[in-house]
Amino acid sequence: PMRIEKCYFCSSNIYPGHGISFVRNDCKVFKFCRSKCHKNFKMKRNPRKVRWTKAYRNAVGKEMTVDQVFTFEKRRNIPVRYNRDLFVKTVGAMKRIAEVREARQKRFWENRMKQAQRRHEQAQDKELEKNLHLVEPALRDTITLKLSNKMDISE
């Protein structure tokens, strides 16, 4: 049966006829999507420390790690007798799941960006407070007023 595998190193998809398989002495099979992943594996690099891998993005909190949608992607080895209606329903469900996943990932990304924007603004305010003596005296009063208003709102 044709199956889309996952790369051991970066977790990207490996389509039939693509990629490299490495079989260790204990018969464990490692599948890699490209030579880049294979070479990094041979160099004994940890995928959680290599920035372009899915494992790194999950470890650092850049991607969703816990979601119900991921349970549908799990590998199932139970053979099912062919049924046209079941097949049509499955394909429809796969499309719907993809839509739901995209919407949730977009929402997750937007929340992450809001937090990053907030941190960025706080860092700018802190920098401005620290170097207020460099600002022209005419602007200094308005800036201190804005900063004090922000402090009142946040407290």
Work out whether the CA dihedral 39, 40, 44, 47 comes out positive or negative: negative
d(C-alpha 14, C-alpha 18), whole Å: 6
Q: What number of CA atoms fall less than 13 Å from residue 87's CA on the CB side?
A: 5
Ranked by mean pLDDT, the top range of 9-13, 78-82, 133-137 is 9-13
**Please, which pLDDT band fits residue 155 given cuts at 50, 70 and 90?**
low
Write out pLDDT tens, residues 58-83: 898 888 777 777 777 776 778 888 89
What backbone torsions phi and psi does residue 91 show, to the nearest 5 degrees?
Answer: -65, -40
Q: What average pLDDT does range 112-138 have in this prediction?
A: 88
pLDDT digits (tens, 9 = 90+) for 24-56: 999 999 999 999 999 999 999 999 999 999 999
pLDDT confidence of residue 138: 76
User: Looking at the predicted structure, is the pLDDT value of residue 128 above 90?
Assistant: no
Sign of the dihedral defined by the CA atoms of residues 114, 118, 123, 128, in that order: positive
Q: How confident is the model at residue 18 (pLDDT cuts 50, 70, 90)?
A: very high
Q: CA quadruple 22, 23, 26, 27: dihedral positive or negative?
A: positive
